[in-house]
Amino acid sequence: MEECCNHENRATRVYWSRPPSRVVKFSTDGSALGNPRRIGAGGILRNCYGDLIPAFATPHGVGTNNQAELQVACI
């Protein structure tokens, strides 16, 4: 049986600020497609010039949005 996912899509402009010289910035986020439903986490590491160093995205099974945020904090 196919899982049905009905949710509102919307775009929000987000601004990224560079870290000081010789510093890297690690941005992360966790997401859930409902509570509880499939959860995942991702992150990106950038240097002071905004260059991508590594990035990742990974599924974490089934859980809540709070569990998704905790999972990404534990990576």
Q: For residues 65 and 32, is the Cβ–Cβ distance under 8 A? A: yes
Predicted local distance difference test score (pLDDT) of residue 2: 47
**What total number of domains does the chain contain?**
1
pLDDT of residue 21: 93
Does any domain span residue 8? no
- Residue found under tokens 């690690």: 26
Q: H helices of the chain, where?
A: 65-73
Please list the rounded mean pLDDT of every run of 10 residues in the chain (75 residues): 63 87 92 87 93 92 90 77
Q: Is 39 exposed, middle or buried (0-12, 13-18, 19+ CB in 10 A)?
A: buried
Is 10 within the bounds of a domain? no
Q: Using CA atoms, how far apart are residues 31 and 71, in angstroms rounded to an integer?
A: 10
**Which residues form the domain of 38?**
25-73
- The whole-number pLDDT of residue 23 equals 93
Q: How far apart are the first and last CA of the chain?
A: 32
Which pLDDT value is given to residue 15?
A: 85
Does a structural domain hold residue 52?
Answer: yes
